[in-house]
Amino acid sequence: MATSRKFSLSKLCMSAMFYLVVAAIVLYTVFPFYWAVVSSLKSDSALFTTDLWPKRVSLNNYRSIFLEQPFGHNILNSVIVAVVTVSIGLFVSVTASYALGRIEFRGRTTLLMFILSASMFPQVAVLSGMFELIHALGLYNRHFGLILSYMIIVLPFTVWVLTTFMRALPKELEEAAIMDGATPWVIITRIFLPLLTPVLFTTGILAFIAAWNEFLFALTFTLTDNMRTVPVAIALMTGNSQFELPWGNIMAASVVVTLPLIGLVLMFQKYIISGLTAGAVKG
């Protein structure tokens, strides 16, 4: 009797501990973003108090970033750059990943290693060469300059992930098609693309997030406020005072650009996790 009660008590203790750990994890991961939301809803003087919820909810900060700053423009820039980057990236990597994933040829492993190392590449290492290239092509302070430079970030990643998924598809698929005399192009567009739609979607989301968040190139290759992407705009936001950053505005802008991303994560969590782990664990 006594031992069984002791046993269940320790079991209860264990699960209490467990849920304590869970609560701590949730608090740690969610609190910083929660704090950004709360701060963005506080008006000027309330911002400098540490109330956990504003006494009076104010949308002034949100009004200010869209009316007094070109933040709408910045969002548009980020959307254009990210969407075009992802489209070109996916288009180029579909054919490449078919070749790397489905066809045996000499130099394939070397090429794959090369692509993997390109994804681990420090961006600073190409900064001056890229600056020269973008200037020579007349793309400085233009969307296409950023799109061009983002290829180095997006392409190795999309090729790698798509190759992993291409490999996983059964061999019989194309063998039957080859017997029927289908060309590789037909095989890709008629057989693989329909099967890979969810994967393309996953890879597209991940590449979109990478392009959306990029900072170093955007900071270096744009000049005017109107051409800045969202991360650069948030980083360089200044207010009326020279000595104090407009924290309310910065937090409002942060919430505006993060909410859609959190929405994406909530909706496509399973896809995103499968894409992330395919890029690394299997890779």
By CB under 8 A, is residue 18 in contact with other proteins? yes
Using CB under 8 A, which residues numbered 243 to 262 contact other proteins?
247, 250-251, 254, 257-258, 261-262
By CB under 8 A, is residue 84 in contact with other proteins? no
Q: What are 211-215's contacts with CB under 8 Å, separation 24+?
A: 211/81, 211/82, 211/85, 211/86, 211/150, 211/153, 211/154, 212/78, 212/82, 212/257, 212/261, 214/146, 214/150, 214/153
Q: Are 154 and 205 in contact (CB under 8 A)?
A: no
The CB-of-138 to other proteins minimum distance in angstroms stands at 14
The CB-of-196 to other proteins minimum distance in angstroms stands at 15
Among 4, 10, 28, 240, binds other proteins (CB under 8 A): 28
By CB under 8 A, is residue 90 in contact with other proteins? no
Comparing CA positions, the residue from 26, 151, 176 lying closest to residue 82 is: 151
Using CB under 8 A, which residues numbered 224 to 243 contact other proteins?
230-232, 234-235
The CB-of-282 to other proteins minimum distance in angstroms stands at 6
Please give the size of the binding site for other proteins, defined by CB under 8 A.
Answer: 93
Of the two residues 2 and 281, which places its CB atom closer to other proteins in the complex? 281
By CB under 8 A, is residue 53 in contact with other proteins? no
> How many Å from the N-terminal Cα to the C-terminal Cα in the chain?
54
Query: Rounded to whole angstroms, what are the CA distances from 59 to 54, 237, 245?
Result: 11, 18, 18
The CB-of-276 to other proteins minimum distance in angstroms stands at 6
CA separation for the pair 179, 113 (Å, rounded): 32
Using CB under 8 A, which residues numbered 57 to 76 contact other proteins?
none
Give the position of tokens 């991961």.
Answer: 29
Using CB under 8 A, which residues numbered 178 to 207 contact other proteins?
178, 183-185
CA separation for the pair 76, 5 (Å, rounded): 63
By CB under 8 A, is residue 93 in contact with other proteins? yes
Using CB under 8 A, which residues numbered 101 to 120 contact other proteins?
103-105, 109, 111-113, 115-118, 120
